[in-house]
Amino acid sequence: MSNKKQKKVLGRGLDALLNSSDNTKFKKETQSTPSSLEVDLNKIQVNPNQPRTNFDTTEIKNLTISIKDLGVIQPITVREIDSKNYEIISGERRFRASKLAGLNSIPCYIKGVDNEADILKMSLVENVQRVDLDPIEIGLTYERLINDYNLNIDSISRIVGKERSTISNYIRLLKLDPIIQSGIRDGFLSMGHGRALINIDDKKLQLEIYEQIISSKLSVRQTEKIVRGNKRTNTSSTSSDVSKIYIDATNKFEKIFDSKVRLKENSEGKVSLTATFKSINELYLILKKLSN
């Protein structure tokens, strides 16, 4: 898709989502360029349906420092609850950082939205279009658009300007064991690792391979190789169970060395072993033990 077409898709995404005769007034307001107003921070409350659930403390602190130096460059978007109070549609991080920075007010775009469903839809779409949501948050957001608003993948693809396959891959991540999902959210492994693990139906085996990815710092390619090995095992009794070899070898070496051990495979299939010892004397004692 060209940049010109991509911009066109994203530009009409919200309009496509809220395309009904009941929200004509709302559409007209979103199509015009809003002007921002300074709003007292004490009059603003967070959106309980905010798609983002992870707020990185370090990022908030860095944003706070930036706001202290430069102010809030990009206004947040809110809707008016009553004449004295507002609710955030998007921009909760800027809101939080502004409070930490000691500001009394923040620039806001005020949207004329009254329908709760439209508010949630707008919040979901704006957050999906952000690039800093983690893969699980994005998958959950897509799932909510499907389950809560009866949208299909084609509709979501048109709204957020993403390929159908991309949307499906995010949603499939939600089939992973919750522990693995947490690992993706916390950055211990990538979406690529998660996509490889989805192909393992056994949740227990998923977790075993997940632990191996963390302990041995396996690449996505190495993880895919382990997964392929397990899939072959299910269909052929003569195929080797690659992941169990990794896990078993790691556990045995760690028991012998009484130390964390890392197994790493290069592109040629050669495996190296790395272990850390407290001192040369400790290594000598282990070698002596092995020789006996």
Residues annotated as part of the active site: 92
Asked if residues 196 and 227 have their Cβ atoms less than 8 Å apart, the reply is yes
CA distance 98 to 105: 8
At 10, which helix (H) or strand (E)?
A: helix 3-11
How many residues are there in the chain?
292
Distance of CA 74 to the CA centre of its chain: 23
Q: Locate 245 and state its tokens.
A: 């070899």
Q: What are phi and psi of 34, to 5 degrees?
A: -80, 155
For residue 151, list its beta bridge partners.
none
Distance of CA 226 to the CA centre of its chain: 24
Q: Where are the alpha helices (DSSP H) in 78-197?
A: 92-100, 116-128, 135-149, 153-160, 164-172, 178-185, 191-197
Q: What are phi and psi of 161, to 5 degrees?
A: 70, 35
Asked if residues 46 and 78 have their Cβ atoms less than 8 Å apart, the reply is no
